Chains A and B, each alone.
Chain A
């Protein structure tokens, strides 16, 4: 615990008579307040508007066919797949914080893991919608599952797109299990504090009769450790599989072995950026400043800086390998990426992902919420552009000049992209209000008062 207490953000932050009760009060207050803060209503109104736009634009796409989106030959993947990879990427930080930081005993994570996990699940929901509609007949996705049928046919399990179904499906399921299991004791807290019958019933059902028996805690902790150990390779495998969608093809610009680690690093980078973007306003509006401290934001900024440099390294390495390979198609693909007709997207990406996080070298910047928030937003923009650059520049300029094209998104493309944020934020705001936003039990175990002193 030496490292952990070193960076314990609660030395003094929770001073008072009863630290346990303070944590419970701080977190439960959000659910117990008769009304959420005004900012919640404003944000919710805005999110619902975007959500309505999402529903309308997707409905239009389903009704009209996916031609309503702007992608055409040769850029057949366009926005939907860019958005898919973007959201799946966002969905990685949650499990990473929960699982990997847990295994590494980085206990400061307790303040942020719950909502990072929630973020994961909501992001994966957003992600799954895009390929689901992009298949063109969204009522037939079960064709990708091995269901016995009258044609006697089975899915093609050697296709990376099929791996994707299993990887993303498993990831969504395991993330939900992990998230839910972490919440059982906190639901019990909510149940015991609830006054109305409905709340007692709902939280009671969710808590499954948890009463904090030590014999139960013992198995619970084991199970949690096991889930963390399972989720860690899972989180790495999922984005690797997503990168296989590209890497196993033969398209210059996609066909590279660096993709799996590069995608994983990018996902962590983008995911952490999203965590800070969500954490900064929520700690402000829900009065969690003593729980999600400046120290937390600073640590996350450092991770963003580190993973940003990894991503920058990958960009450089791609260029180097393109030159070093001696393959003219490869070389063209990368020169075109930076200086071709999508050059503007490439440099946006470089600016947001490589240059912007560099401000975090300065402690002053790392501890300024405005800077952190702003860089977080920039990194999200940059990570979206990274996927755009990979998908669109490579498809638009492949081997045959006769087969070249230029992808221009349609209005519906923009509407679905913006709309997916509506879904994400709506779910997130509901989560903030009704679900324990911070892992109270874990946090109580982490603060100095939570340790027994005579063994």
Chain B
């Protein structure tokens, strides 16, 4: 159903669309195109299986504006790439990365660049299609069976009847002078229906409506309240076949998931069976000497001072007078506060070292325990330093050597 006569017979006479000339090589076509161009036609075109070098000039085609479109798209892409990164990372949600400024542009170049290319590429293809009026489903030329060879090995020239200069006789004569293989009339297309098929419309409506269902379901779920736990489409690692601490486990008699260590279990290094070292006791009394593991040296004293300044000074003060910062602050607030003891009191000076050690370890009356925070040997070092502090306030001439005493006189 493609020859002119057959179409006319079926659809009634159709008006003329144009005259079509056929050639079998590009040289003939280019020659013909020049003639048509020189004759001053406006609505005409050539059709070829591949782009012919130089035909633009032969036809008088002006340079397309496509590059400008692509250029604008490139700028938009660039601006988008820069803004996207600036607004998200330097403004709305500031990311601190390796101490760099929030907007350190060299790191933003790659994405800005990719966006530029992406936008321009879409513009190049999209612009080409739009300027070319594609997609174009039907054309009067499609009714010519011979015209199918335009995508294979034949070259065509069409002058449209709507051209002001078109004249059936003159135009035909002009085309004949270009020595085409064949010269033919092209009629308007009265065969191809331009109605969209009903079935397609219905399918689109149904599919479009169906595609809204999930969104409607989401919206409904968001608006309603539910007592049920949320649906886990994907479990991630939220549910694992394991028992967690402090949970029930019917496998065991006591229904606990956690197993307690066997009675009498001692963790490595936690035996602490040396009463002197760990509890400050010798027999039934407080120890009066330092344990064997603690060296009475200047080095130990220095450790003691450092630890004291960290752990005790805030309350007891650097000199042990019970006037640390915490105490001063409490005084100012005046909210009722048992003052830290002055460590220079007589009874404290006379206390055995073991008892002091115990006060640090377990706390005393209102003072909290420091055992859990300070290692035992550091606690002994603190005791040693407290002793030194006490001594500093309670020494007399008797503590000096003969030589020093005479030096003072």
Chain A residues packing against B (C-beta within 8 Å) = 18, 20-21, 24, 137, 139, 146, 152-160, 162-163, 166-167, 169-170, 173-174, 177-178, 180-181, 185, 188-189, 191-193, 204, 208-223, 226-227, 230-231, 233-234, 237, 241, 244, 440-442, 444-445, 449-455
Contact B97 A219 (CB under 8 A): no
Evaluate whether A174 and B89 lie within 8 angstroms (CB atoms) in the complex, with A214-B47, A449-B25 already known: no
Contact A209 B135 (CB under 8 A): yes
Contacts of A157 in B (CB 8 A): 84-85, 88-89, 107-108, 111
| Smallest CB separation, B197 vs chain A (Å) | 12
Contacts of A449 in B (CB 8 A): 25
Contact B128 A222 (CB under 8 A): yes
Contacts of A221 in B (CB 8 A): 51
- Which of these binds chain A: B3-11, B60-68, B168-176? B60-68
B127 partner, pick from A146, A191, A223, A452, beta carbons under 8 A: A223
Closest to B100 in A: A158
Evaluate whether A212 and B110 lie within 8 angstroms (CB atoms) in the complex, with A21-B153, A230-B120 already known: no
B30 partner, pick from A154, A158, A454, beta carbons under 8 A: A454
Bound-state Cα–Cα, A190 to B239, Å? 55
Contact B153 A220 (CB under 8 A): no
Closest to B33 in A: A214
Bound-state Cα–Cα, A455 to B46, Å? 17
Contact B139 A211 (CB under 8 A): yes
Bound-state Cα–Cα, A452 to B134, Å? 27
Closest to A187 in B: B151
| Smallest CB separation, A327 vs chain B (Å) | 20
Closest to B29 in A: A452
Q: How large is the interface on B (under 10, 10 to 19, 20 to 34, 35 or more residues)?
A: 35 or more
| Smallest CB separation, B157 vs chain A (Å) | 9
| Smallest CB separation, B69 vs chain A (Å) | 10
Contact A441 B107 (CB under 8 A): no
Closest to A445 in B: B50
A450 partner, pick from B50, B117, B122, beta carbons under 8 A: B50
Contact A213 B97 (CB under 8 A): no
Contact A212 B93 (CB under 8 A): no
Bound-state Cα–Cα, A108 to B115, Å? 32
Contacts of A445 in B (CB 8 A): 50-53
Contact A222 B64 (CB under 8 A): yes
B206 interface residue per 8 A CB criterion? no
Closest to A158 in B: B107
Bound-state Cα–Cα, A294 to B30, Å? 34
Contacts of A441 in B (CB 8 A): 49-51
Contact B85 A217 (CB under 8 A): no
Pull 17 A–B residue pairs with CB atoms less than 8 Å apart, ordered by A.
Answer: A24-B152, A154-B95, A155-B88, A166-B110, A170-B114, A170-B118, A185-B151, A210-B134, A212-B49, A212-B50, A213-B132, A216-B134, A223-B128, A227-B124, A227-B125, A450-B53, A454-B30
Closest to A139 in B: B234
Contacts of A244 in B (CB 8 A): 110
Bound-state Cα–Cα, A250 to B118, Å? 31
Closest to A206 in B: B135
Contact B110 A188 (CB under 8 A): no
| Smallest CB separation, B31 vs chain A (Å) | 6
Contact B111 A163 (CB under 8 A): yes
| Smallest CB separation, B182 vs chain A (Å) | 16
Contact A217 B51 (CB under 8 A): yes
Contacts of B236 in A (CB 8 A): 137
In B228-280, which residues have CB < 8 Å from any A CB?
A: 234, 236
B341 interface residue per 8 A CB criterion? no
